[in-house]
């Protein structure tokens, strides 16, 4: 049980407790806070409160967060597009719509379930039982290349490269609008959204450095085809950065506008390069975007002519 002891600040007086708690750097969404309040894990001056509570300035707030329930990962025979594999790691081309690891609402049919079957449970354990082998992630509705570690030594070596920003990572995306410049760099720190804890945003508060480079490969009438390189790998980085400069990814229903038929953002992790953590050999792999992406580009090209 994690226990947070807080004092309700004067500047927040009049604000609902759940909204205020979700704005803190506690890793809790507003919905999660409401659940804790209902379970009487949130106390104000030592007493349980209703979900619509608006504490007075100076009130003593206690938030108790129970440990997460352990989830058993069930190996599942799900087809995988394996780009490369050896005794220490593999590179997989994740399809759009597949969640990387189990979490609330997605306990099976994830990439981890498929990997557990394919690797017969032989994956690194550094990230715990929920994310075995997972060195880095891409979003559910982003397709493309991921590296998976089969042992802890490989995992540590890959994680060090990520920390040093020495990975080569290139994405392609379809963004909304007309770009003024053919190339650009977005250098803007990213942190958790102050209200919607499931979202990220550009902010100076509790944020981390984030740098994205982009090149406009083709400008269409109302959209553009981009290639992007990451210096850092923050959660939702490309999606947040492009939205921040006024060019959200086409179909992004969180940071832009949903588009029928796209099933989320048109974003693909097309290239990844790294030094093999055991052999020291530099490896680089590339995969084209899926068919829906290619067809969409062709349609936009035809409409532009």
In angstroms and rounded to an integer, the radius of gyration of the C-alpha atoms of the chain is 22
Q: Where are the beta strands (DSSP E) in 188-266?
A: 190-192, 200-202, 211-219, 223-230
Cα angle 276, 187, 168 (rounded to 5 degrees) comes to 15
Q: Are 155 and 223 in contact (CB under 8 A)?
A: no
Report DSSP state, residue 134.
B
The residue assigned the tokens 């040093």 is 164
CA atoms within 13 A on the CB side of 117: 13
What phi and psi values does residue 124 have, to the nearest 5 degrees? -60, 150
Catalytic position from the list 45, 87, 108, 139: 139
Q: Write down the H helix ranges in 107-245.
A: 111-118, 152-163, 237-244
Nearby residues of 80 by Cβ (< 8 Å), 6 or more positions away: 92, 114, 115, 118
The residue assigned the tokens 């780009």 is 83
Q: Is 88 a catalytic residue?
A: no
Tell me the CA end-to-end span of the chain in Å, nearest whole number: 61
Bridge-based pairing of strands 200-202 and 168-176 is: unpaired
Between CA 102 and CA 75 the distance in angstroms is 12
Bridge-based pairing of strands 2-7 and 60-65 is: antiparallel
Between CA 56 and CA 34 the distance in angstroms is 18
**Active site residue ranges:** 139
């Amino acid at each position: 049980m994690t226990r947070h002891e807080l004092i309700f600040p004067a500047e927040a007086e009049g604000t609902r407790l759940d909204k205020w708690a979700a704005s803190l750097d506690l890793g809790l969404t507003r919905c999660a806070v409401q659940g804790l309040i209902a379970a009487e894990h949130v106390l104000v001056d030592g007493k349980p409160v209703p979900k619509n509570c608006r504490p007075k300035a100076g009130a003593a707030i206690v938030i108790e967060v129970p440990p997460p329930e352990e989830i058993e990962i069930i190996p599942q025979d799900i087809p995988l597009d394996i780009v490369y594999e050896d005794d220490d790691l593999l590179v997989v081309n994740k399809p759009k719509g597949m969640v990387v690891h189990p979490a609330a609402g997605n306990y099976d049919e994830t990439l981890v379930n498929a990997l557990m079957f394919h690797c017969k449970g032989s994956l690194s354990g550094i990230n715990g039982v929920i994310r075995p082998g997972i060195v880095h992630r891409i979003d559910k509705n982003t397709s493309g290349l991921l590296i998976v570690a089969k042992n802890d030594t490989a995992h540590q070596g890959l994680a060090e490269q990520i920390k040093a920003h020495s990975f080569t990572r290139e994405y392609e995306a379809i963004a909304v609008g007309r770009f003024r410049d053919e190339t650009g760099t977005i250098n803007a720190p990213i942190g958790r959204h102050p209200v919607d804890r499931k979202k990220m945003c550009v902010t100076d508060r509790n944020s981390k450095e984030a740098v994205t480079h982009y090149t406009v490969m083709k400008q269409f009438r109302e959209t553009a085809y981009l290639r992007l390189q990451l210096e850092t790998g923050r959660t939702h980085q490309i999606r947040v950065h492009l939205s921040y400069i006024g060019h959200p990814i086409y179909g992004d229903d969180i940071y832009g506008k949903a588009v029928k038929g796209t099933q989320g953002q048109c974003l693909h992790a097309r290239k990844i390069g790294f030094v093999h953590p055991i052999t020291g050999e530099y490896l680089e792999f590339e995969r084209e975007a899926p068919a829906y992406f290619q067809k969409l580009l062709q349609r936009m090209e035809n409409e532009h002519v």
